[in-house]
Chain A
Amino acid sequence: MIYNFYIFDKQGNLLYYQEWTRLKQSGITCEEEAKLMYGMIYSMKSFVNKISPTDIRDGYMHYKTNKNALHILETSSGLKFVMNTDTASTGIKDFMNQFYLKIWLEYVVKNPFCLPEKPITSELFKAKCDEFIKQSTFYGGIKSI
């Protein structure tokens, strides 16, 4: 199942945040949490680059804890899509690529009222995003069984 979803631009501003089933609140405000998240991703990126035995080509990585998994997809333009799921989901990389192609490009980039590097306020995007996630096989998968 999918817990929550962040989109960051290349400067680290939070463009979009949505959550579905989140059981624990972090106890800090959403902006603070986004900053913390971006900071973690940023340092993780440099960590990964240094520790990798060979050169890194694409910007996808994920990590797992015993309760959840975090997937990070970075586009070449510096946009970062971050998604929290449960540990059993696989193939999130393709799913996030699809999200980028079908939802982000269609409803944000092609929308003249969505200014670059500003948080997204489009209701249509919000609705489509919600629909796309809820339709996916990952959403609510484990808990419903």
Chain B
Amino acid sequence: YIVSKSGGLIFNLDHNVPKVENEKTFSYPLDLKLEYDSKKVCVVFGQKDGITVGHVLSAINGVNVNGVTLEDGRDAREIIENKDNYPLNLRFHRPKMTTNEKIVLASTFYPLFAIASQLSPEPKSSGIEMLETETFKLNCFQTLTGVKFILISEPSQAGMEILLKKIYELYADYVLKNPFYSLEMPIRCELFDTNLQSLLEQVEKNGVSSI
């Protein structure tokens, strides 16, 4: 992700995100507690067989679910609550982030970054440079001009700071030198895309030391 000085998301690229999907045949009544809201059917209680709280219904009997309705227009809730339809084959997956949600997240990170430096016990502290949890590691590199480069990787990956500097180089080369690009606007630049992609592939294959 690249976040501009004003906190807007100007570039994002998903590389190789593992997709967790679980399919299982259910009998009546469901041993999962589902919650129906306006846009999705979501598990709220009853973790089992890899289906965990927060997962979203993605298909019933192999037919994909779009929000709360099936592809053929039927309502998912009616099918699940009708006893005659069982046994049912339901597929669940982790909710995928929409572009809007990504923009929201990017702007959430912005104040976190600022507060972190304010709450620091040492004077002249920077904002968050690395945020690590059990499942991922987030590296953030802020340039002198205030643009933030955010990279999300596996916790075991090392040398991500170097990779971020390299991405900054690419940004400087292909984005800033592009006469059709105006600052603070989303980056739509093919050369940058392809070069970034090949950089990531190279790192994936040979490690960071090869760049």
Contact = CB atoms under 8 A, between A and B. Distances in A.
Interface of A: 3-4, 19, 21-24, 26, 33, 36-37, 39-40, 43-44, 46-58, 60-68, 70, 84
A44 B112 contact: yes
A63 B121 contact: no
Nearest to A69: B130
Contact of B132 (A3, A55, A62): A62
B128 A53 contact: no
Given A55-B52, A63-B130, A47 B119 contact: no
23 contacts: A19-B121, A33-B119, A36-B119, A40-B112, A43-B111, A43-B112, A46-B108, A47-B105, A50-B97, A51-B97, A51-B105, A53-B18, A54-B18, A54-B20, A54-B135, A54-B136, A63-B130, A63-B132, A64-B129, A65-B117, A66-B129, A68-B120, A70-B119
A53 B119 contact: no
B121 A23 contact: yes
Contact of B116 (A40, A54, A60): A40
Nearest to A2: B121
Given A56-B133, A64-B129, A65-B125, A50 B116 contact: no
